[in-house]
Protein backbone atom coordinates (compact mmCIF):
# COMPACT_ATOMS: atom_id res chain seq x y z
CA UNK A 1 0.00 0.00 0.00
CA UNK A 2 1.33 3.43 -0.96
CA UNK A 3 1.83 6.01 1.76
CA UNK A 4 1.28 8.88 -0.71
CA UNK A 5 -0.25 8.44 -4.13
CA UNK A 6 0.26 10.50 -7.26
CA UNK A 7 -2.77 12.71 -6.53
CA UNK A 8 -1.31 13.68 -3.16
CA UNK A 9 2.18 14.24 -4.59
CA UNK A 10 0.84 16.50 -7.35
CA UNK A 11 -1.33 18.40 -4.86
CA UNK A 12 1.67 18.93 -2.57
CA UNK A 13 3.77 20.13 -5.51
CA UNK A 14 1.05 22.52 -6.64
CA UNK A 15 0.89 23.94 -3.11
CA UNK A 16 4.62 24.69 -3.16
CA UNK A 17 5.37 25.89 -6.70
CA UNK A 18 4.10 28.81 -8.72
CA UNK A 19 1.35 27.72 -11.08
CA UNK A 20 0.75 29.90 -14.12
CA UNK A 21 -2.55 30.08 -15.93
CA UNK A 22 -2.41 29.85 -19.71
CA UNK A 23 -3.26 33.54 -19.92
CA UNK A 24 -0.30 34.45 -17.70
CA UNK A 25 2.02 32.06 -19.54
CA UNK A 26 1.02 33.51 -22.91
CA UNK A 27 2.20 36.92 -21.67
CA UNK A 28 5.65 35.38 -21.14
CA UNK A 29 5.92 33.94 -24.66
CA UNK A 30 8.89 35.60 -26.33
CA UNK A 31 10.12 37.16 -23.06
CA UNK A 32 13.95 36.99 -23.18
CA UNK A 33 14.02 36.41 -19.39
CA UNK A 34 11.80 33.29 -19.59
CA UNK A 35 12.57 29.75 -20.73
CA UNK A 36 9.73 27.32 -21.38
CA UNK A 37 10.82 23.77 -20.53
CA UNK A 38 9.00 20.78 -22.02
CA UNK A 39 9.28 17.82 -19.62
CA UNK A 40 7.22 15.43 -21.78
CA UNK A 41 8.69 12.32 -23.34
CA UNK A 42 10.42 12.64 -26.71
CA UNK A 43 7.66 10.76 -28.51
CA UNK A 44 5.05 13.24 -27.24
CA UNK A 45 7.06 16.20 -28.49
CA UNK A 46 7.64 14.56 -31.89
CA UNK A 47 3.93 13.86 -32.27
CA UNK A 48 2.53 17.25 -31.30
CA UNK A 49 5.38 19.76 -31.24
CA UNK A 50 5.92 22.04 -28.28
CA UNK A 51 5.68 25.62 -27.16
CA UNK A 52 7.58 27.69 -29.71
CA UNK A 53 11.15 28.29 -28.53
CA UNK A 54 10.95 25.84 -25.63
CA UNK A 55 13.78 23.54 -24.59
CA UNK A 56 13.14 19.83 -24.24
CA UNK A 57 14.22 18.21 -20.98
CA UNK A 58 12.39 14.89 -20.47
CA UNK A 59 11.42 14.50 -16.83
CA UNK A 60 13.54 11.37 -16.50
CA UNK A 61 16.67 13.44 -17.20
CA UNK A 62 15.64 16.57 -15.31
CA UNK A 63 18.00 16.33 -12.34
CA UNK A 64 20.96 15.44 -14.57
CA UNK A 65 20.33 18.31 -16.97
CA UNK A 66 19.70 20.80 -14.13
CA UNK A 67 22.95 20.03 -12.27
CA UNK A 68 25.87 22.13 -13.60
CA UNK A 69 28.27 19.43 -12.40
CA UNK A 70 26.60 16.73 -14.50
CA UNK A 71 28.02 15.81 -17.90
CA UNK A 72 24.41 15.99 -19.19
CA UNK A 73 23.93 19.58 -17.92
CA UNK A 74 21.67 21.83 -20.01
CA UNK A 75 22.78 25.46 -19.58
CA UNK A 76 19.22 26.70 -20.19
CA UNK A 77 18.31 25.37 -16.75
CA UNK A 78 21.05 27.33 -14.98
CA UNK A 79 20.64 30.54 -16.97
CA UNK A 80 19.04 32.44 -14.09
CA UNK A 81 15.99 33.03 -16.27
CA UNK A 82 12.48 32.16 -15.12
CA UNK A 83 11.78 28.53 -15.99
CA UNK A 84 8.20 27.64 -16.94
CA UNK A 85 7.81 23.89 -17.06
CA UNK A 86 5.02 22.13 -18.90
CA UNK A 87 3.87 18.63 -19.74
CA UNK A 88 0.70 17.38 -21.42
CA UNK A 89 -1.78 18.34 -18.68
CA UNK A 90 0.12 19.79 -15.69
CA UNK A 91 0.85 16.86 -13.37
CA UNK A 92 4.39 15.97 -14.40
CA UNK A 93 5.37 19.62 -14.72
CA UNK A 94 4.19 20.32 -11.15
CA UNK A 95 6.33 17.46 -9.85
CA UNK A 96 9.29 18.56 -11.99
CA UNK A 97 9.01 22.19 -10.85
CA UNK A 98 9.02 21.04 -7.21
CA UNK A 99 12.11 18.93 -7.90
CA UNK A 100 13.94 21.94 -9.35
CA UNK A 101 12.92 24.02 -6.34
CA UNK A 102 14.17 21.25 -4.03
CA UNK A 103 17.48 21.39 -5.94
CA UNK A 104 17.75 25.11 -5.14
CA UNK A 105 16.32 26.88 -8.19
CA UNK A 106 13.92 29.66 -7.23
CA UNK A 107 12.62 31.13 -10.50
CA UNK A 108 10.53 28.08 -11.36
CA UNK A 109 6.85 27.77 -12.27
CA UNK A 110 4.67 25.35 -14.17
CA UNK A 111 1.83 25.71 -16.63
CA UNK A 112 -1.62 24.73 -15.36
CA UNK A 113 -3.31 22.49 -17.91
CA UNK A 114 -0.03 21.88 -19.72
CA UNK A 115 0.49 21.83 -23.46
CA UNK A 116 -3.14 20.87 -24.04
CA UNK A 117 -4.32 24.13 -22.46
CA UNK A 118 -1.65 26.07 -24.39
CA UNK A 119 -2.86 24.64 -27.70
CA UNK A 120 -6.53 25.30 -26.86
CA UNK A 121 -5.64 28.93 -26.09
CA UNK A 122 -3.91 29.29 -29.47
CA UNK A 123 -0.42 29.66 -28.03
CA UNK A 124 2.49 29.57 -30.50
CA UNK A 125 3.67 26.05 -31.29
CA UNK A 126 6.93 24.90 -32.89
CA UNK A 127 8.74 21.63 -33.43
Q: Which of 44, 41, 59 is nearest to 99 (CA)?
A: 59
What's the CA gap between 1 and 58, in Å, rounded? 28
Which residues sit opposite 35 in a β-bridge? 83
**Cβ-count burial 33-49 (b if 16+ within 10 Å, e if not):** ebbbbbbbbeebbeeeb
Domain assignment present for 86:
yes
Count of domains for the chain: 1
Q: Could you read off the pLDDT of 50-74 as tens digits, one per residue?
A: 999 999 999 999 999 999 999 999 9
Q: In Å, how far are 40, 76, 77, 97, 126 from 104, measured between CA atoms? A: 22, 15, 12, 11, 30
Task: Indicate if the pLDDT at residue 97 is higher than 90.
Answer: yes
Domain assignment present for 82:
yes
Question: What range defines the domain where residue 52 resides?
Answer: 13-121
What beta strand segments (E) does 1-107 contain?
18-20, 34-38, 50-51, 55-56, 82-86
Spatial CB neighbours of 14, under 8 Å, sequence gap ≥ 6: 94
Q: Could you read off the pLDDT of 25-52 as tens digits, one per residue?
A: 999 999 999 999 999 999 999 999 999 9
Domain assignment present for 33:
yes
pTM of the entire predicted model: 0.95
The total of other beta-carbon atoms located within 10 Å of residue 25's CB is 24
Question: Residue 84: which CATH number?
Answer: 3.40.250.10
Domain assignment present for 95:
yes
Domain assignment present for 81:
yes
Domain assignment present for 8:
no
What's the CA gap between 117 and 104, in Å, rounded? 28
Domain assignment present for 2:
no
Amino acid sequence: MLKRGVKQLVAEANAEVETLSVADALKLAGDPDTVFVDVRESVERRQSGGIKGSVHVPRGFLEFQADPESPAHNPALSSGKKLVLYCASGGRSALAAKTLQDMGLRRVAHLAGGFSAWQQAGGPVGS
